[in-house]
A and B are shown apart, each in its own frame.
Chain A
Amino acid sequence: MIHNRLSVFRAERNLSRKDLAEAVGVNPQTIGYLERGDYAPSVELALKLAALFEVPVEHLFSLKPFAPLATSLRDPES
């Protein structure tokens, strides 16, 4: 399973699923499936999303669950 922080990044940018979907050329439902963890994106889509949020792809997607945001802020190394 691939974990992601898509909803966090999307909320931070104040983007709707429709906006994000249009920016990367997918159906808005696909963004919903990604956020829910029901769909693992292709490398191309993962790279497009990472480029859109201007972060390395591993900040957005991970094979291991991401630490909660509060923990990440307290301990940036986590």
Chain B
Amino acid sequence: MFIRSKTRPFGRQLSTPLVRTLLIALYTLYPLGCILQLMPMTSGGGVMASLAGLALVVGAIGIFAVLAGSSLQRQTQEPENLLDERERIERNRASFQAHSVFSGIVLIGVLYMMLTTDMAANDKLHLWQPTEGAHWNAIFGGLILLSFTLPGAILAFGKTPPEMD
């Protein structure tokens, strides 16, 4: 997802350290927020934890909104004919790597679900499993955020762009 503004058709130029910081914050705040928000009362959850979790999730979505308008996100989402040859090559490499990472994460998730279901059925070990709609919403929300930002993250943590004159 790239949000193009009328004033900045090529996206907002953010410095590489800032983009890296925003991405780390996004990938930390969202899961932390979801855990706090969905933590059951018996495990220390409550109204305050839920509100703190909500604040973190809203913060993560705000960070996503900033990234969605950046030039880096443009490079990952723009149609090919609007990118130059270097941008296309880098985008294709980043998309391939992002696809591999994303597939790996989904595979680990499926394996986890399979093992926890199996162990719970045999009454061996009871690990956490998503049971409510809110749990699945949090997981899918995270996967959507990750799929939208992962190619850009791979670009951001790759080569540092040259300084402009």
Contact = CB atoms under 8 A, between A and B. Distances in A.
> Chain B interface residue count: which class?
10 to 19
A10 to B, nearest CB: 9
Given A30-B84, A38-B159, A44-B85, 16 more contacts: A17-B164, A18-B164, A25-B84, A26-B84, A27-B83, A28-B164, A29-B164, A30-B87, A32-B162, A32-B164, A33-B162, A35-B162, A36-B162, A38-B162, A41-B85, A42-B85
A16 interface: yes
A43 B112 CA distance: 49
Nearest to A39: B86
A21 B61 CA distance: 34
Contacts of B159: 33, 38
Interface in B32-84: 83-84
Main secondary structure of the interface of A (DSSP, over half): helix
Interface string A1-39: 000000000000000111000000111111011011011
Q: Please list the 5 inter-chain residue pairs (A to B) with the smallest Cβ-Cβ separation, ordered nearest first.
A: A32-B162, A26-B84, A30-B86, A27-B84, A39-B86
B123 interface: no
B133 interface: no
B163 interface: yes
B132 interface: no
5 contacts: A17-B164, A27-B87, A30-B87, A41-B85, A42-B85
A17 B165 contact: yes
Contacts of A45: 85
A43 B83 CA distance: 17
